[in-house]
Protein backbone atom coordinates (compact mmCIF):
# COMPACT_ATOMS: atom_id res chain seq x y z
CA UNK A 1 0.00 0.00 0.00
CA UNK A 2 2.86 2.36 0.83
CA UNK A 3 4.47 1.68 -2.55
CA UNK A 4 1.20 2.28 -4.41
CA UNK A 5 0.77 5.53 -2.52
CA UNK A 6 4.18 6.70 -3.66
CA UNK A 7 3.40 5.77 -7.26
CA UNK A 8 0.15 7.73 -7.23
CA UNK A 9 1.96 10.92 -6.24
CA UNK A 10 3.77 11.10 -9.54
CA UNK A 11 4.19 8.68 -12.40
CA UNK A 12 6.89 10.00 -14.75
CA UNK A 13 8.61 7.76 -17.28
CA UNK A 14 11.74 7.71 -15.11
CA UNK A 15 9.83 6.17 -12.21
CA UNK A 16 8.34 3.34 -14.27
CA UNK A 17 11.64 2.55 -16.00
CA UNK A 18 13.24 2.46 -12.55
CA UNK A 19 10.74 -0.18 -11.45
CA UNK A 20 11.10 -2.09 -14.74
CA UNK A 21 14.89 -2.20 -14.49
CA UNK A 22 14.65 -3.42 -10.91
CA UNK A 23 12.41 -6.30 -12.00
CA UNK A 24 15.05 -7.71 -14.37
CA UNK A 25 16.76 -9.67 -11.53
CA UNK A 26 13.52 -11.64 -11.16
CA UNK A 27 14.24 -13.09 -14.61
CA UNK A 28 17.75 -13.94 -13.43
CA UNK A 29 16.34 -15.80 -10.44
CA UNK A 30 13.82 -17.88 -12.39
CA UNK A 31 15.75 -18.52 -15.60
CA UNK A 32 19.40 -18.51 -14.52
CA UNK A 33 19.30 -19.50 -10.87
CA UNK A 34 20.72 -16.29 -9.41
CA UNK A 35 21.20 -16.37 -5.65
CA UNK A 36 21.52 -13.54 -3.16
CA UNK A 37 25.19 -12.82 -3.89
CA UNK A 38 24.43 -12.02 -7.54
CA UNK A 39 21.56 -9.73 -6.52
CA UNK A 40 23.77 -7.84 -4.08
CA UNK A 41 26.57 -7.73 -6.67
CA UNK A 42 24.21 -6.09 -9.18
CA UNK A 43 23.13 -3.48 -6.66
CA UNK A 44 26.78 -2.63 -5.96
CA UNK A 45 27.38 -2.13 -9.68
CA UNK A 46 24.42 0.26 -9.69
CA UNK A 47 26.40 2.51 -7.31
CA UNK A 48 28.91 3.08 -10.12
CA UNK A 49 26.11 3.88 -12.58
CA UNK A 50 24.75 6.42 -10.10
CA UNK A 51 28.22 7.96 -9.75
CA UNK A 52 28.57 8.30 -13.53
CA UNK A 53 25.37 10.30 -13.86
CA UNK A 54 26.19 12.31 -10.75
CA UNK A 55 29.43 13.44 -12.40
CA UNK A 56 27.41 14.50 -15.45
CA UNK A 57 25.09 16.46 -13.15
CA UNK A 58 28.02 18.27 -11.54
CA UNK A 59 29.50 19.10 -14.93
CA UNK A 60 26.12 20.36 -16.16
CA UNK A 61 25.42 22.75 -13.29
CA UNK A 62 24.64 26.24 -14.49
CA UNK A 63 27.38 28.78 -13.81
CA UNK A 64 28.44 31.96 -15.59
CA UNK A 65 31.69 32.54 -13.74
CA UNK A 66 35.14 31.11 -14.35
CA UNK A 67 35.48 30.39 -10.63
CA UNK A 68 32.35 28.25 -10.86
CA UNK A 69 33.92 26.04 -13.53
CA UNK A 70 37.10 25.67 -11.47
CA UNK A 71 35.01 24.73 -8.43
CA UNK A 72 33.17 22.10 -10.47
CA UNK A 73 36.45 20.59 -11.68
CA UNK A 74 37.86 20.39 -8.15
CA UNK A 75 34.65 18.92 -6.72
CA UNK A 76 34.35 16.32 -9.49
CA UNK A 77 37.97 15.25 -8.97
CA UNK A 78 37.49 14.98 -5.22
CA UNK A 79 34.23 13.07 -5.70
CA UNK A 80 35.89 10.54 -8.01
CA UNK A 81 38.65 9.82 -5.50
CA UNK A 82 36.52 9.87 -2.34
CA UNK A 83 33.48 8.04 -3.72
CA UNK A 84 35.76 5.65 -5.57
CA UNK A 85 37.48 4.69 -2.33
CA UNK A 86 34.12 4.41 -0.56
CA UNK A 87 32.80 2.02 -3.22
CA UNK A 88 36.07 0.05 -3.25
CA UNK A 89 35.85 -0.68 0.48
CA UNK A 90 32.13 -1.41 0.18
CA UNK A 91 32.76 -3.82 -2.72
CA UNK A 92 35.66 -5.47 -0.88
CA UNK A 93 33.34 -6.13 2.07
CA UNK A 94 30.69 -7.66 -0.19
CA UNK A 95 33.25 -9.88 -1.95
CA UNK A 96 34.36 -11.42 1.33
CA UNK A 97 31.05 -11.48 3.16
CA UNK A 98 29.09 -13.07 0.30
CA UNK A 99 32.11 -15.07 -0.94
CA UNK A 100 32.02 -13.63 -4.47
CA UNK A 101 34.60 -15.08 -6.85
CA UNK A 102 37.69 -17.14 -6.07
CA UNK A 103 41.41 -16.60 -5.76
CA UNK A 104 43.33 -13.79 -4.09
CA UNK A 105 42.00 -10.56 -2.70
CA UNK A 106 41.62 -7.71 -5.23
CA UNK A 107 43.89 -5.62 -2.98
CA UNK A 108 46.82 -8.02 -3.20
CA UNK A 109 49.77 -7.84 -5.61
CA UNK A 110 49.18 -4.22 -6.58
CA UNK A 111 51.80 -1.59 -7.32
CA UNK A 112 50.47 1.42 -5.45
CA UNK A 113 49.45 4.44 -7.51
CA UNK A 114 50.54 7.89 -6.46
CA UNK A 115 48.90 9.53 -3.47
CA UNK A 116 45.09 9.58 -3.33
CA UNK A 117 44.90 7.89 -6.73
CA UNK A 118 45.37 4.63 -4.86
CA UNK A 119 41.64 4.76 -4.11
CA UNK A 120 40.90 4.73 -7.83
CA UNK A 121 43.30 1.81 -8.23
CA UNK A 122 41.54 -0.09 -5.45
CA UNK A 123 38.18 0.58 -7.07
CA UNK A 124 39.38 -0.70 -10.45
CA UNK A 125 40.71 -3.86 -8.79
CA UNK A 126 37.38 -4.49 -7.05
CA UNK A 127 35.47 -3.82 -10.29
CA UNK A 128 37.67 -6.33 -12.14
CA UNK A 129 37.10 -8.94 -9.43
CA UNK A 130 33.34 -8.44 -9.31
CA UNK A 131 32.91 -8.19 -13.09
CA UNK A 132 34.84 -11.44 -13.58
CA UNK A 133 32.56 -13.14 -11.05
CA UNK A 134 29.25 -12.00 -12.56
CA UNK A 135 27.00 -14.38 -14.52
CA UNK A 136 27.19 -13.45 -18.26
CA UNK A 137 23.48 -12.64 -18.51
CA UNK A 138 23.83 -9.96 -15.82
CA UNK A 139 24.98 -7.53 -18.52
CA UNK A 140 21.32 -7.04 -19.48
CA UNK A 141 20.39 -6.05 -15.95
CA UNK A 142 23.32 -3.59 -15.90
CA UNK A 143 22.19 -2.13 -19.24
CA UNK A 144 18.63 -1.84 -17.92
CA UNK A 145 19.75 0.06 -14.82
CA UNK A 146 22.01 2.30 -16.92
CA UNK A 147 19.10 3.20 -19.21
CA UNK A 148 16.81 3.76 -16.23
CA UNK A 149 19.20 6.22 -14.57
CA UNK A 150 19.82 7.84 -17.95
CA UNK A 151 16.10 8.47 -18.45
CA UNK A 152 15.86 9.95 -14.96
CA UNK A 153 18.85 12.19 -15.73
CA UNK A 154 17.27 13.44 -18.94
CA UNK A 155 13.72 13.78 -17.62
CA UNK A 156 14.40 15.32 -14.22
CA UNK A 157 17.79 16.97 -14.38
CA UNK A 158 17.79 18.34 -17.91
CA UNK A 159 14.18 18.65 -19.05
CA UNK A 160 12.91 19.17 -15.50
CA UNK A 161 15.39 21.99 -14.93
CA UNK A 162 17.07 20.53 -11.85
CA UNK A 163 20.41 21.74 -13.18
CA UNK A 164 19.21 25.28 -12.40
CA UNK A 165 18.58 24.68 -8.70
CA UNK A 166 21.00 21.89 -7.72
CA UNK A 167 24.28 22.71 -6.00
CA UNK A 168 27.69 21.07 -5.90
CA UNK A 169 27.28 20.44 -2.18
CA UNK A 170 23.96 18.68 -2.67
CA UNK A 171 25.22 16.56 -5.58
CA UNK A 172 28.36 15.67 -3.66
CA UNK A 173 26.37 14.15 -0.80
CA UNK A 174 23.46 12.63 -2.74
CA UNK A 175 25.08 9.29 -3.77
CA UNK A 176 26.30 8.63 -0.22
CA UNK A 177 22.82 9.14 1.18
CA UNK A 178 21.48 6.64 -1.33
CA UNK A 179 24.13 4.02 -0.49
CA UNK A 180 23.61 4.33 3.26
CA UNK A 181 19.82 4.01 3.11
CA UNK A 182 19.68 1.51 0.26
CA UNK A 183 22.44 -0.85 1.30
CA UNK A 184 21.59 -0.97 4.98
CA UNK A 185 18.20 -2.28 3.87
CA UNK A 186 19.70 -4.61 1.26
CA UNK A 187 22.38 -5.98 3.59
CA UNK A 188 19.86 -6.62 6.35
CA UNK A 189 17.69 -8.60 3.96
CA UNK A 190 20.66 -10.16 2.19
CA UNK A 191 22.14 -11.57 5.39
CA UNK A 192 18.83 -13.24 6.24
CA UNK A 193 18.48 -14.68 2.72
CA UNK A 194 22.10 -15.92 2.80
CA UNK A 195 21.61 -17.66 6.14
CA UNK A 196 18.55 -19.47 4.75
CA UNK A 197 20.38 -20.54 1.54
CA UNK A 198 18.60 -18.09 -0.77
CA UNK A 199 15.02 -19.44 -0.77
CA UNK A 200 13.02 -18.12 -3.73
CA UNK A 201 10.33 -16.26 -1.74
CA UNK A 202 12.91 -14.30 0.25
CA UNK A 203 14.84 -13.39 -2.90
CA UNK A 204 11.64 -11.93 -4.38
CA UNK A 205 10.98 -10.07 -1.11
CA UNK A 206 14.55 -8.68 -1.22
CA UNK A 207 13.97 -7.34 -4.74
CA UNK A 208 10.63 -5.90 -3.64
CA UNK A 209 12.34 -4.18 -0.71
CA UNK A 210 14.90 -2.65 -3.04
CA UNK A 211 12.18 -1.37 -5.39
CA UNK A 212 10.24 0.17 -2.49
CA UNK A 213 13.34 1.96 -1.17
CA UNK A 214 14.30 3.09 -4.69
CA UNK A 215 10.84 4.56 -5.34
CA UNK A 216 10.88 6.34 -1.98
CA UNK A 217 14.34 7.86 -2.58
CA UNK A 218 13.41 8.80 -6.15
CA UNK A 219 10.28 10.66 -5.09
CA UNK A 220 11.98 12.29 -2.11
CA UNK A 221 14.95 13.50 -4.14
CA UNK A 222 13.01 14.99 -7.03
CA UNK A 223 10.21 16.36 -4.85
CA UNK A 224 12.77 18.22 -2.72
CA UNK A 225 14.46 19.63 -5.81
CA UNK A 226 11.13 20.75 -7.26
CA UNK A 227 10.21 22.52 -4.02
CA UNK A 228 13.60 24.24 -3.95
CA UNK A 229 13.04 25.41 -7.51
CA UNK A 230 9.66 26.94 -6.61
CA UNK A 231 11.15 28.73 -3.62
CA UNK A 232 13.99 30.08 -5.74
CA UNK A 233 11.50 31.29 -8.34
CA UNK A 234 9.46 33.14 -5.68
CA UNK A 235 12.53 34.92 -4.27
CA UNK A 236 13.55 36.14 -7.73
CA UNK A 237 10.18 37.72 -8.51
Determine, yes or no, domain membership for 185.
yes
Q: Which of 10-14, 106-110, 190-194 has the lowest average pLDDT?
A: 106-110
Number of domains making up the chain: 1
Task: Check residue 30 and give left, alpha or beta (phi > 0: left; psi -120 to 50: alpha).
Answer: alpha
With a cut of 50, say whether residue 4 has pLDDT above it.
Answer: no
* Full-model pTM: 0.83
Determine, yes or no, domain membership for 4.
no
Q: Where are the alpha helices (DSSP H) in the chain?
A: 2-9, 13-32, 36-59, 66-97, 118-133, 138-152, 162-165, 168-195, 200-236
Q: What is the pLDDT of residues 119-152, one digit of tens each?
A: 888 899 889 888 988 899 999 999 999 999 999 9
How far is 206 from 17, CA to CA, in rounded Å? Answer: 19
- Using an 8 Å Cβ cutoff, are 102 and 93 in contact? no
Determine, yes or no, domain membership for 106.
yes
Q: What is the pLDDT of residues 176-199, one digit of tens each?
A: 888 888 778 787 778 778 778 878
At 153, the pLDDT band (50, 70, 90 cuts) reads very high
Determine, yes or no, domain membership for 2.
no
Query: CA 104 → CA 30, 99, 109, 110, distances in Å?
Result: 31, 12, 9, 11
Determine, yes or no, domain membership for 173.
yes
Determine, yes or no, domain membership for 5.
no
Determine, yes or no, domain membership for 3.
no
Model pLDDT, residue 136: 92
Determine, yes or no, domain membership for 68.
yes
Give me the domain span that covers residue 133.
10-236
Amino acid sequence: MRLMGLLKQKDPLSLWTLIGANLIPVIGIFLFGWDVKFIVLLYWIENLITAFYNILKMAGLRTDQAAGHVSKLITISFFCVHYGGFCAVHGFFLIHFFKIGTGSSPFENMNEWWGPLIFIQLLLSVIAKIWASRPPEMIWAVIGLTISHGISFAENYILGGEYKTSTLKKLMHQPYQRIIVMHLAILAGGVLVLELNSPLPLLIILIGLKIAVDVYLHNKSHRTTAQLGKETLKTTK
